[in-house]
């Protein structure tokens, strides 16, 4: 349980680091070779944690500590009892299927979060559509067209 929580927290902290960099770095500021290598390694480690360690820790916890085995039938505390067990639900759901489905959900959530982060990185520094903010001078005063 501790390993799963630590891996989730590590992925959140790493994503937060990308968010901070997205807010601070302008798109026209060039990166040096060393910065590019550092961030490539950082992104690789983040992807490794997100798509490798977190789902593995979930499956390890579910199968070893919580006994999510293929021979145990999940009936949601009597709400979805299978027809083979005398209920109304058309098929059996095992605990193994439940743990694998949660692992797939982990992958989907992290994939969507990563796509959102990519869009935020690519669109950094762009003004929002419909933004009515007047451009400012070097002194911070708004520039107004006199007509």
pTM listed for this prediction: 0.77
- Whole-number Å distance between alpha carbons of 108 and 92: 24
Q: In whole numbers, what is the pLDDT of the chain averaged over residues?
A: 89
92-110 b/e with 16+ CB inside 10 Å = b? beebbeebbeebeebeeeb
Residue 98 pLDDT > 80: yes
- Whole-number Å distance between alpha carbons of 9 and 15: 10
Q: Where are the domains of the chain?
A: 2-122
pLDDT tens per residue across span 43-79: 999 999 999 999 999 999 999 999 999 998 888 887 8
């Amino acid at each position: 349980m501790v390993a799963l929580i630590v891996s989730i927290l590590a992925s959140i902290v790493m994503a937060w680091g990308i968010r901070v960099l997205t807010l601070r770095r302008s798109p026209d500021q060039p990166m040096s070779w060393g910065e590019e290598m550092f961030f490539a390694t950082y992104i690789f480690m983040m992807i490794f944690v997100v798509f490798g360690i977190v789902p593995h820790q979930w499956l390890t916890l579910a199968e070893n500590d919580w006994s999510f085995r293929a021979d145990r039938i999940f009936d949601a505390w009597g709400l979805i009892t299978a027809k083979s067990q005398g209920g109304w639900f058309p098929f059996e759901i095992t605990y193994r299927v439940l743990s694998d489905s949660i692992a797939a959900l982990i992958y989907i959530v992290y994939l969507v979060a990563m796509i959102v982060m990519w869009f935020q990185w690519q669109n950094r520094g762009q003004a929002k559509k419909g933004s009515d903010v007047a451009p400012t001078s070097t002194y911070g005063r708004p520039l107004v067209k006199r007509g």
